Amino acid sequence: MSLFQRATILNMVGLIVLFIGIGSAGLFYRSGQKPPALENTTGEWKDDSLALTESKTATRNIELFGGKLEVLMVQWQERLQRPTAIAIITGAVSVLIALSCFLVGRCLS
């Protein structure tokens, strides 16, 4: 297999990774778009958007048993579970992998 063929394959792999990554990031973002408050069958409003660290009692208990670092780790975990964060991470990783494929393919040709 010649270097030109390897470069072409790397460019194709880069394009495939880029399209699949950006497409799945868009799907992650769209799937996370939901209204925060929903009306249930009894007519009462149900809001499940309150995070664990937004409660003062829960934050105090986490800090008491795990320290300030534990509170920061729980906050980071909650932020990274949001669909927008997952979409951004997926898009960024796919762009970095595609760019590395393009650069290696360019060096080979």
Residue 70's pLDDT is: 84
- Quote the pLDDT of residue 109: 80
Provide the percentage of residues in the chain whose pLDDT is more than 90: 41
Average confidence score pLDDT of the chain = 83
Mean pLDDT within 70-87: 85
Q: What is the pLDDT of residue 59?
A: 78
Q: What is the pTM of this model?
A: 0.68
71 or 87, greater pLDDT: 87
Long-range contacts of 93-100 (CB under 8 A, 24+ apart): 93/21, 94/17, 94/18, 94/20, 94/21, 94/22, 94/24, 94/25, 95/18, 95/21, 95/22, 97/14, 97/17, 97/21, 98/14, 98/15, 98/17, 98/18, 98/21, 99/14, 100/14
Residue 39: is its pLDDT beyond 80? no
